[in-house]
Amino acid sequence: MVTTLGSRFDTVLTAYASNVDNLTGIVAENDDLQLTNPTQTSGVKIPVQKGVVYEFAVDGKNGETGEIALTIIFSYAVKDDFASRKMINAFPLTTSGSNRGSSRQFDEPYHAVAGRNSVWWQWTAPIAGSVRISTKGSSFPAGLAVYTGSVLRELTSLTSISGGNDLNLAVEAGQKYQLAVDGAYGDTGDIELRIDRGEPPGNDDFIHATPIPGAKAEIAASNLYASVEPGEEVVRTIGGGRTVWWSWTAPTNGLITVRAIGGSLNTDLMLFTGTALSNLRLVAENDNFLLTPTILDHPLDRRLSIDVETGVTYFIRVDNSQYARAGGPFILKLDFSRPPKILPGVSLQNGMFRFKATGLAGIVYHVQTSENLRDWTGLPGDYVGEDLTVIIPSGTGRAGFFRLVDNSVLPLR
């Protein structure tokens, strides 16, 4: 690259091979380096050969004169165009490269960053499933983009990420993926490109099922890079093969409600009893329970509600739906409820009525009244804890029946 940046007048630059008197030896010429925003600076970028003498002539546009500044920047030849991309097909793999001296082609898309120094790889996936593609270890925060297609101007973008972060991709065996790495705003340096399975979650295997304490839980989870372990095939498996496990032990008889809120992840939710993979018994499953968004947070929610017994440990398994190959994040919610035990009440002065009840720690109960045990009306006030004292105010009409209900668990519809 040769420029007249710093010259004191509007320049015209011409590059020759051989000598200046041989006008047929012109290899490049330029008036304004930036055609869309003309300046006084001229510049040419030319391929050079070892041993050849190159000469540069600087003239003034329209006869202008002044001091000349000539800058020559040399870089080694880089095969950075799409047609010269490096072919790779191993898995897992680590390969290296550099985008020093590379450039962006005319028809080339921008790869997650406003870069101009891209290099390409073509990876043929030998496996199917979720993979992690990473440029961590590179000497600059690289932008990474993945495409399918074999013609530069007709590529289909699959995903991209900036800042040297990892990206996750569901791949098909035999499919060719075009990988482009670039630096933001001219960043260049050494590139380390890795493709692997990524780290599986800690509760990938049944033996490492995560215990859930208490009567309520909300867990931010993921089954990205999870797998079906050896022996798990004896368990009912219709999902996508990205299973993760939790365990929960019932403190007393009651009702448990479990939800897997997938966001964009289509999940399969199962509950088991047993002590090992070889003796698990499926007690509930939900792969396609769609409720309206006004009832649940997202139409891909999965929900199970079952009666549970004191001291029994239940194993919760979340998998992808059989139609979703890649894993991802989701929310797991657990709610345990038990009808409170109401003790005999007594009438108080001024028409009030008092009774005691035993509930579950941390559960919020509400009082309802009824005249016929069919139509119930809620009364204001919250009652929390194991030992409850409820006072029914006067003026409740002819209501002769009272009950405590746990409204924290969304009723099935």
Q: Which residues contact 137 (CB under 8 A, 6 or more apart)?
A: 192, 194
Q: What is the mean pLDDT of residues 216-229?
A: 89
The tally of CA atoms less than 13 A away on the side-chain side of residue 235 is 32
Neighbours of 40 (CB within 10 A): 19
201 assigned to some structural domain? no
pLDDT at position 290: 43
Q: Which amino acid is at 131?
A: V
Residues 224 and 257 reside in one and the same domain? yes
Residue with the larger pLDDT of the pair 368 and 124: 124
Phi first, then psi: give them for residue 239, nearest 5 degrees.
-85, -160
Domain-embedded: residue 77: no
User: What is the pLDDT, as a whole number, of residue 411?
Assistant: 38
Is the N-terminal amide bond of 92 cis, ω within 30° of 0?
Answer: yes
- CATH number at 111 reads 2.60.120.510
Split at pLDDT 50, 70, 90, the class of 301 is: confident
Same domain, 230 and 317: yes
| pLDDT for 238 | 60
Of residues 61 and 391, which shows the higher confidence score?
A: 61
Indicate whether 104 belongs to any domain: yes
Contact by Cβ (8 Å): 320, 264: no
The CATH number linked to 289 is 2.60.120.380
Q: Is residue 411 part of a domain?
A: no
The confidence score (pLDDT) of residue 322 equals 62
Check pLDDT > 70 for residue 383: yes
Share of the chain above pLDDT 70, in %: 86
Last residue of a domain, one of 35, 54, 72: 72
pLDDT at 122: 97
Q: Based on the domain organization, do 214 and 170 belong to the same domain?
A: no
For residues 213 and 322, state if they share a domain.
yes
Each residue of 130-186: pLDDT tens digit? 889 999 889 999 999 999 999 999 999 999 988 888 888 888 999 999 999 999 888
* pLDDT for residue 412: 33
Interatomic CA distance for residues 198 and 208, integer angstroms: 18
Does residue 43 fall inside a structural domain? yes
CA 234 to chain centre: 31
pLDDT at residue number 291: 41
Residues 121 and 11 in one domain: no
Please report the pLDDT score of residue 78 as a whole number. Answer: 64
Question: Which domain-ending residue is among 47, 72, 97?
Answer: 72
Q: Are residues 60 and 138 in the same domain?
A: no
Q: State how far the Cα of 271 lies from the Cα of 308, in Å rounded to an integer.
A: 11
Judge if 121 and 231 occupy the same domain: no
Q: Residue 129 and residue 246: Cα distance in Å, rounded? A: 23
Do 271 and 169 fall into the same domain? no
Query: Given its phi and psi angles, is residue 31 left (phi above 0), alpha (psi -120 to 50 degrees) or beta?
Result: alpha
- At which of 297, 316, 337 does a domain end? 337
> Are 36 and 8 within one domain?
yes
Assess if residue 173 is contained within a domain: yes
Q: Is residue 115 one of the residues assigned to a domain?
A: yes
If asked whether residues 111 and 177 sit together in one domain, one would say yes
Query: Residue 264's pLDDT is what?
Result: 66
Query: SS3 for the chain, per residue?
Result: CEECCCCCCCEEEEEEECCCCCHHHEEEEECCCCCCCCCCCCEECCCCCCCCCEEEEEEEHHHCCCCCCCEECCCCCCCCCHHHCEEECCCCEEEEEECCCCCCCCCCCCCCCCCCCCEEEEEECCCCEEEEEECCCCCCCEEEEEEECCCHHHCEEEEEECCCCCEEEEECCCCEEEEEEEEHHHCCCEEEEEEECCCCCCCCCHHHCEECCCCEEEEEEECCCCCCCCCHHHCCCCCCCCCEEEEEECCCCEEEEEEEECCCCCEEEEEEECCCHHHCEEEEEECCCCCCCCCCCCCCCEEEEEEECCCCEEEEEEEECCCCCCCCEEEEEEEEECCCEECCCEECHHHCEEEEEECCCCCEEEEEEECCCCCCEECCCCEECCEEEEEECCCCCCCCEEEEEECCCCCCC
Same domain, 220 and 315: yes
Query: What is the reported pLDDT for 38?
Result: 59
Paired strand residues for 391? 354
Question: Domain residues for 277?
Answer: 206-337
Q: Does 325 lie in the same domain as 211?
A: yes
For the segment 42-98, what is each residue's pLDDT rounded down to a tens digit? 988 887 877 888 889 999 999 999 999 999 887 665 678 899 999 999 999 999 999
Q: 384 pLDDT band (50/70/90 cuts)? A: confident
What does the pLDDT look like over 260-299, one tens digit per residue? 987 667 788 999 999 999 899 999 988 654 443 334 444 5
Q: For residues 398 and 255, give the distance between their C-alpha atoms in angstroms, rounded to a whole number.
A: 31
Give the pair of three-digit tokens for residue 64. 């202008």
Query: 3 or 77: which carries more pLDDT confidence?
Result: 3
Q: What is the mean pLDDT of residues 227-246?
A: 78
In the structure, what pLDDT confidence band is assigned to residue 20 with cuts at 50, 70 and 90? Answer: very low
Q: Across residues 311-326, what is the average pLDDT?
A: 81
The rounded distance, in Å, linking the Cα atoms of 162 and 123 is 20
Asked if residue 413 is part of any domain, the answer here is no
The pTM assigned to this predicted structure is 0.56
pLDDT at 197 over 90: no
Are 397 and 351 in contact by the 8 Å Cβ rule? The answer is no
Tell me what the pLDDT averaged over the chain comes to. 83
Indicate the number of domains in the chain: 4
Confidence of residue 258 (pLDDT cuts 50, 70, 90): very high
